[in-house]
Amino acid sequence: MKLVLKRLRTYVKLALVVAVAIAVVLIILFNRNHRVTFWFFGTYENVNVLWLLLSTAAGAIVTYWVALTVFSVWRDLRELGQESARRAFEEDRRRREAELAEQERRIDAKRAEILREEPPHTPPDESGMKS
């Protein structure tokens, strides 16, 4: 079944490629002698339609490439900002961890010092009074 679907998909793609090729050939054949006057920041008279189509296609491809480049640069800048924020957060977390460890060390040192200074504790005798 997979082979039949793959074969069908391949033939459909081939038919589309052939249809596009035929359309391109027909456009070239029917427009090879036509001339046109158009305006693009100035009036251009008696320009071959095929040259106009070719330059329009080239312009569209270049515009598409420039747009892709701009969007990829924009995405890269956004990722750099996110990475910078992530690193700043990580550095802040490490700094706070170090501060907490230092604070805990000081508390432990004070506790040990207090325990050394306290007199030994004597348990009360059975009468409930200290001897």
**Helices (H), strands (E): how many in the chain?**
2, 2
Higher pLDDT among residues 40 and 64, named by residue: 64
Judged against a pLDDT cut of 60, whether residue 130 lies above it is answered with: no
Q: What is the pLDDT of residue 119?
A: 66
Question: Considering the chain, what percentage of its residues have pLDDT values greater than 70?
Answer: 89
CA distance linking residue 20 with residue 28, whole number of Å: 12
Residues of the chain with pLDDT > 90, as a percent, come to 58
Q: Read off φ and ψ for residue 125, nearest 5 degrees.
A: -80, -175
Q: Is the pLDDT of residue 70 over 80?
A: yes
Segment 40-67 mean pLDDT = 90
Average pLDDT, the chain: 89
Whether the per-residue pLDDT at 102 is higher than 60: the answer is yes
**Tokens encoding 20:** 């596009």
| Distance, CA of 63 to CA of 38 (rounded, Å) | 20
